Amino acid sequence: MDVDSFQQEIKYCSRCGSKIEQIEIDSAGHMHHICLRCDAVFYDNPKIIVNTLIECNNKILLCKRAVKPKIGFWTLPGGYMESNETTDGAAIRETKEETGVDVKNLQLYALFNCPAINQVYFIFRGHVHNENTCTSEETSEVKYFSECDIPWENLSYGLMRQVLDWYFQDKTEGKYRFRTDDTYEICPD
């Protein structure tokens, strides 16, 4: 998909409420919105998404999406980082919200740059503090899967397949290496 179509159009100034009438494109082609009334400049920066890869009793924690897009597909717990959070703090919060599971001691495992859709993914490995699960508004099912039961054909995105694939390779070798890739796949909003 065209890069420009992912750049968000900002219609009103969040500082003074005026209509944004000026858009500036810099030399690299990035769009900035400028408020002519209060001089505020708005940048369309990438969104940060965090996910956790949590193993408990030799099984991996996955949740089934209850919201668009990809309703009914399985995914690693995760979501958008909020303002004033750390990346691992956001991953702990999202995992708790979506699965009910408390996780701790997160370590960065993989980083995906998705410039085409203006997103960056941080995937953390971590330990379970309390393994009890529950569903949420965003998840219709939460379950721990052994490697042989992973629903490979029903995973939400190729990115999830890739990270699980790396994880099981590393597990076999007994050494978890930091992984990174630049993927252009279309991911959820």
Q: Give the binding site for Zn ion (CB under 5 A).
A: 13, 15-16, 18, 35, 37-38, 40
By C-beta, is 39 or 82 nearer to Zn ion? 39
By C-beta, is 15 or 127 nearer to Zn ion? 15
Query: Least distance from C-beta 80 to Zn ion, angstroms?
Result: 25
Query: Least distance from C-beta 8 to Zn ion, angstroms?
Result: 17
Helix (H) or strand (E) holding 170: helix 158-173
CA–CA dist 5, 7 (Å, integer)? 6
CA–CA dist 127, 131 (Å, integer)? 10
By C-beta, is 36 or 67 nearer to Zn ion? 36
Task: Return the closest-CA partner of residue 154 out of 85, 73, 76, 36.
Answer: 73
Task: Return the closest-CA partner of residue 76 out of 111, 125, 114.
Answer: 125
Query: Least distance from C-beta 9 to Zn ion, angstroms?
Result: 16
By C-beta, is 8 or 86 nearer to Zn ion? 8
CA–CA dist 47, 120 (Å, integer)? 6
Query: Least distance from C-beta 163 to Zn ion, angstroms?
Result: 41
Q: Are strands 102-114 and 41-43 parallel, antiparallel or unpaired?
A: unpaired
